[in-house]
Structure 1
Amino acid sequence: MLHTQTHAPCAEAPAADDFAAILVEQTDRLLTREVTAACLREADAGAFPAAAWQAVCDAGLPHALEPEEDGGVGLDVPAAARILRRAGFHALPAPLGEDMMARALWSAAGGAPVDGLVTFAGGLWPAARLCAAPLPAVPWAGVAAHVLVALSDDAGERLILLPRDAYAVETRRNLAGEPRDALSIAGEDLGRYPSRPWSSAAGADGLSAYGAFVRAQQMAGAMERCLGLAVAYANERKQFGKPIGRFQAVQHMLAVAAGESAAAAAAAEVAAAAFGTSHFAVAVAVAKARCGEAAGKVAEICHQVHGAMGFTREHTLHVFTRRLWAWRDEFGNETLWQQRIGRAVCAEGGEALWPRLVALRTAGGFA
């Protein structure tokens, strides 16, 4: 378990930024050790990485956003977001983001601590709809102990925590081989399951906004890894007697990819800084749209730099590009979130646009 008190009693407490940096370094070491090529191959074939997941749980990472009084680590969201970016960087084939976010939302709504893996379904669902048709593309529902769902009825909006015996699962997978299951709720008596009043920070998008937040962080990390692989390959692969990275055309492509990756990371950081504020709905829309757009360009360029080598299963690149292609569409693609941005701007009026941009810039620490 990770703890916020890592110093000797007589020592001065490290600054929050220092602790976050230490935590990211610890996470990197853990994931480097646990997310091996064999682990990724087994996950690709449909096996859940139980050993890697146990190591992640032993480190307390799923509890990063839960308050210390509930047995959590009590990190702030920007620090936790850095952990999610490292999970994307290492292509962790397990639902760390879903578990971390579901626990944080349930705890913030006043729910009691939960044992076992927790995931969540995107959207805000009418109560009658939940029992009428399967919920689509629920990440890792088949291996989760609970699924968190946002619903609305005559009493208002609330979060409901469904135990594993409350639903049946039809296993489906995304392009990266990750489970995105169809979930059918057994029976129609939802009142027997734990629930808490809740108000979505993103209106009708409900939990999709929080899923988009997780995917934006993961994509930012995966793009960083793809770019690193492409730069390393360009410096190693020789053509006409010199590394291809010395050719101006290749340098230009890598520069474009680096710019896209940096812009995506900045948007993800702004969304993390805006979490829990009135700016979150727009910030997460910007982050998911920008990261989704960048993901396509970065994946394309990195495959171009690698040539035919990058398309083989033996090379590492596809592990990350397949996740980028899958994640950009999950919890809403860039078109959907761009529409959300447009509607928010139109609703506020043109004179509010510049103050909104300044507020987002300040929230992200770019003032």
Structure 2
Amino acid sequence: MSDIRDMLVEQVDRLLSDRADPATLRAAEAGTWPEALWAEAEALGLPLALVPEGMGGTGLGWGDAAALWQALGRHAAPIPLGESMAAAALLAGAGITPPTGLIALGLPGEAIAWGRRAGHLALAPGGEAALHAPTDWQQGRGLIAREPADRPVLGAPLAEGRLPGAYGPDAALLAGALLNAARIAGALETVLLMTVDYANTRKQFGRPIGGFQAVQQLLARCAGEVAAAGVAVANAGRAADRRGLAGAEFEIAAAKVVAGEAGGTGAEIVHQVHAAIGFTDDHPLHLFTRRIWAWRDGAGPERLWARRIGDAALARGGAHLWADLTSRDEEPAA
């Protein structure tokens, strides 16, 4: 699927470059739904990209999704496209044909971005999937990302189905973790480029601050974090394609931890280099760093996933630890 993936990533980058400028992001934070952007995403077939062709989708895999979700992060996309893609994939996995329009993805204890705009909601507890049409939404707002964040009022499900074993009992949480790790990785790419450009143009003591070794060292550290996050996300996507979401829990958990820590370190560095200007509301830097901070907590913070990695390692025992760390890619697909 690499050719289709590359084409879709290019289309997403182009679409968001045209439609997701800072003014649109600020308007979304004020509660204005980016209708034109969502309509174009639907016209490209992106919400159903992970759905099999027989159900009207494109049939992409989780590795393809991770690449697309990184593109969403690079532009701090103000629409819940990644969540809708994951929700449609889980419904399709349970044999439920996904409806058209925005499908919200429900995660335990979390408010849903732009839930008020969703006609349907997908839940996937305990290895099952259910399609709902919420009767109402308790409207709210994210404290960090500032976007609308709502909680559903549910009635009886419209459809229910059993997910295959490869999805596992935590399919929605795993898909959400991969989504947020990918968005963090993409957003880090953008803030690094913004910061390098700023360091090469902002002058102090008669020369660009990027010429000072201390600043160069900070940028090099940030570049290392960006690279680590991107590699971890790509590895998690490949593992999910080979072994399913449940079989890739280690890689997805590692990606969430690595991307989350990279997001914290990277955001600290880019704000340090930008200094006071980076904290002003007029500067676009915070439009990305605030979302990075929000995505760190989305679908579980680093401590949750680090604990799950540790618990799994203890359950497997020390005799398996080295093989689990070095030979997982050699395991057959599920």
Interval containing the TM-score (normalised by the shorter chain):
over 0.9
Match of 1:42 among 27, 34, 40: 27
Identity %: 43
Q: 3-state SS of the aligned residue for 2:25?
A: helix
Deviation of residue 251 (structure 1)? 0.5
Match of 1:89 among 41, 52, 74: 74
Aligned residue in 1 for 2:38: 53
Question: Is the aligned partner of 1:182 residue 2:151?
Answer: yes
Match of 2:129 among 159, 162, 169: 159
Aligned residue in 2 for 1:116: 101
Letter in 2 for 1:357: L
State the number of aligned residues.
328
Matches within 5 A, 1:214-363: 214-276=179-241, 277=243, 279-360=247-328
Aligned residue in 2 for 1:172: 141
Letter in 2 for 1:145: G
Q: 3-state SS of the aligned residue for 2:111?
A: strand
Gaps of 5+ in 2: none
Q: Which moved more, 1:139-148 or 1:196-205?
A: 196-205
Q: Deviations over 1:285-323 (max 9, x none)?
A: 111111111101000000011111111111111110000
Higher helix fraction (1 or 2): 2
Deviation of residue 117 (structure 1)? 0.7
State the superposition RMSD in angstroms. 1.9
Deviation of residue 200 (structure 1)? 6.8
Q: Which moved more, 1:36-45 or 1:285-294?
A: 36-45
Larger radius of gyration: 1
Match of 1:138 among 112, 127, 137: 112
Alpha-carbon distance between aligned partners in 2 of 1:63 and 1:88, rounded to the nearest angstrom? 19
- Work out which structure has the larger RCO, using CA pairs closer than 8 Å and 6 or more positions apart in sequence: 2
Deviation of residue 49 (structure 1)? 0.9
Q: Which moved more, 1:238-247 or 1:176-185?
A: 176-185
Question: Is the aligned partner of 1:195 residue 2:160?
Answer: yes
Letter in 2 for 1:196: G
Letter in 2 for 1:182: R
Q: Which moved more, 1:277-286 or 1:326-335?
A: 277-286
Alpha-carbon distance between aligned partners in 2 of 1:73 and 1:20, rounded to the nearest angstrom? 10
Q: 3-state SS of the aligned residue for 1:151?
A: coil
Alpha-carbon distance between aligned partners in 2 of 1:23 and 1:202, rounded to the nearest angstrom? 25
Gaps of 5+ in 1: 1-15, 124-134
Give me the TM-score of the superposition, normalised by structure 2. Answer: 0.92
Q: 3-state SS of the aligned residue for 2:124?
A: strand
Deviation of residue 333 (structure 1)? 0.3
Letter in 2 for 1:250: V
